[in-house]
Amino acid sequence: MESFGHVIGGEEVASVGGATFESVDPWTRAPWATVALGSAEDARRAIDTARTAFDDGPWPRMSFAERGQLLHRLADLIDAHTDELALADTTDMGKPIAQTTSHDVPRSARNFRFFADHARITPAETFPMPDGHHAYTRYDPAGVVAAIAPWNFPLMMATWKIAPALAWGNTVVLKPAEQSPASATILARLALEAGLPPGVLNVVHGYGPSSVGQALTESPDVDRITFTGESTTGRVISRAAAGNLTPVSLELGGKGANLVFADADLDHAVRWAIQAIYSNSGQVCLAGSRLYVQRGIYDEFLARFTAAAEAMVLGDPKDPATQIGPLSSQEHYEKVAGYLDVATADGARLHTGGRADGWTIRPTVITGAGQRARVTQEEIFGPVVVVLPFDDEADAVSAANDSPYGLNAMVFTRDLARAHRVANALRVGTVWANCFFVRDLRAPFGGAKNSGVGREGGTYSREFFTEPKAVVMEIAAS
């Protein structure tokens, strides 16, 4: 068994009361690591440490170049420890090793490099005023940031929050999800090795309600809360934060619509549609879990899509050939498997897929579900796609927008005017036209409706993790 502690004030420590929990490998379904189990008291220790590091320590007072140098060093160490970090996430939550190695870990390093550089080179505004004054904006760090991360991209989502927070001079307390704690401790160890001052990046393990998560969101000493997870949890966190008027950034659930028009390049659309729903076993907030196909190509598209889904390689996530691993936990497997029963009980059909061994679900296609069916409206968060036909553009847009979620959508068409029109009409935070998951880290990332509050990325992260200050100065007294 491996062992992972909290990292508070530059040291890896046990919980105050010595409590631990076990992280279960969802492939073997056996515990593989012992993890410190924090309480509200451990959260308070971490917040106090981060507070002192912010109020009295060097970090917020360093130049962007000095901080950037340390964050680049951390990015280099992440790259150098790719195998260890990739294996940690894969063992914790079952994501195929090919994905953690080629995507999640490199992207985590990139998050630090990008935000370090972005903070260093982004200009602030000046406003020359006509009356003998000028105004300019300072982007001062906000203070102590609580980052609450999900289990579906453990290292990648944690670094997406931590990197801009640190680059702008804040100190951080990270609570990783209880299903995927290991990579957070490894990251904090590497941050110390890179030379980040003690107390700047703290990690506390534990649960959400009545535990570390709740303590972080209720603390008056936390200045910003950034959270990714379920929409219901987002509401609970918003309510807790409201007690102290602490600003929150929430990236919540999704039910991405993927619109495939008859004029699309079908091979291309099938390839992306497969990727959009089955990568990470569908445990992706951005998943294209509602696949709307124009009626004229519906049968052909469905046949090609089904063949590609059935060809996917299931198995041990530590095998580099595996494309579909187990779901992240028994609880989550039961939730996703339950939706297969919901689909058939509601009169829909499992066109392909279903349960496999252990906690694995085969790439599943549901047909014959209505627009109002639960499987069409609710976030399943597994390798399960609902395929529905549409007649024309107006029909496609209205079906896509008929959802409580508004995180993202995809449109496949060769008609660029239509791609622009549809992108304009969709009520979501991101539209991908003829692609999926391609990111420019300067662009806003977040969701409309129940998919979130606020945006992160580039200057959007700056707005959230700083306290923008207007300085108005008289130039010449008259």
Sheet with 2-4: list strands edge to edge: 2-4, 30-36, 20-25
Q: Identify the residue among 49, 99, 217, 376 touching ligand TXE (CB under 6 A).
A: 217
Q: Does 256 bind ligand TXE (CB under 6 A)?
A: no
Q: How many residues bind ligand TXE (CB under 6 A)?
A: 28
Residues forming the active site? 251, 285
Q: Identify the residue among 26, 213, 317, 406 touching ligand TXE (CB under 6 A).
A: 213
The pattern of x and - marking residues 135 through 174 that bind ligand TXE according to CB under 6 A reads -------------xxxxx----------------------
Query: Considering beta carbons, is residue 306 or 408 the nearer one to ligand TXE?
Result: 408
Burial class (CB in 10 A: 0-12, 13-18, 19+), 271: middle
Residue 329, token pair as written in the block = 């936990």
Q: Which stretch binds ligand TXE (CB under 6 A): 54-62, 67-75, 249-257, 355-363?
A: 249-257
Number of residues in the chain: 478
Q: Which stretch binds ligand TXE (CB under 6 A): 63-71, 227-235, 353-361, 433-441?
A: 227-235
Q: Does 178 bind ligand TXE (CB under 6 A)?
A: yes
Q: 135 has which bridge partners? A: 127, 472
Query: Considering beta carbons, is residue 379 or 393 the nearer one to ligand TXE?
Result: 379
The single residue listed with the structure tokens 């976030």 is 379
Q: Does 389 bind ligand TXE (CB under 6 A)?
A: no
Residue 321, token pair as written in the block = 């050939």
At residue 294, what is the residue type? Q
Rounded to a whole number of angstroms, the minimum distance from the CB of residue 378 to ligand TXE is: 9
Pairing of strands 133-141, 466-474: antiparallel
Query: Considering beta carbons, is residue 48 or 178 the nearer one to ligand TXE?
Result: 178
Rounded to a whole number of angstroms, the minimum distance from the CB of residue 211 to ligand TXE is: 8
- Alpha-carbon gap, residue 116 to 75, rounded angstroms: 10
Which residues 261-320 are close enough to bind ligand TXE by CB under 6 A? Answer: 285
Residue in 278, 473, 467, 249 with CA at minimum distance from that of residue 364: 278
Q: Does 89 bind ligand TXE (CB under 6 A)?
A: no
Q: Identify the residue among 9, 94, 208, 353 touching ligand TXE (CB under 6 A).
A: 208
- Alpha-carbon gap, residue 323 to 107, rounded angstroms: 19
Sheet with 171-175: list strands edge to edge: 11-13, 6-8, 201-203, 171-175, 144-148, 224-228, 248-251, 452-453
Query: Considering beta carbons, is residue 178 or 393 the nearer one to ligand TXE?
Result: 178
CA dihedral 131, 137, 142, 145 (to 10 degrees): 140
Binding site residues, ligand TXE, CB under 6 A: 148-152, 175, 177-178, 207-209, 213-214, 217, 228-230, 233, 236-237, 251-253, 285, 332, 335, 379, 381
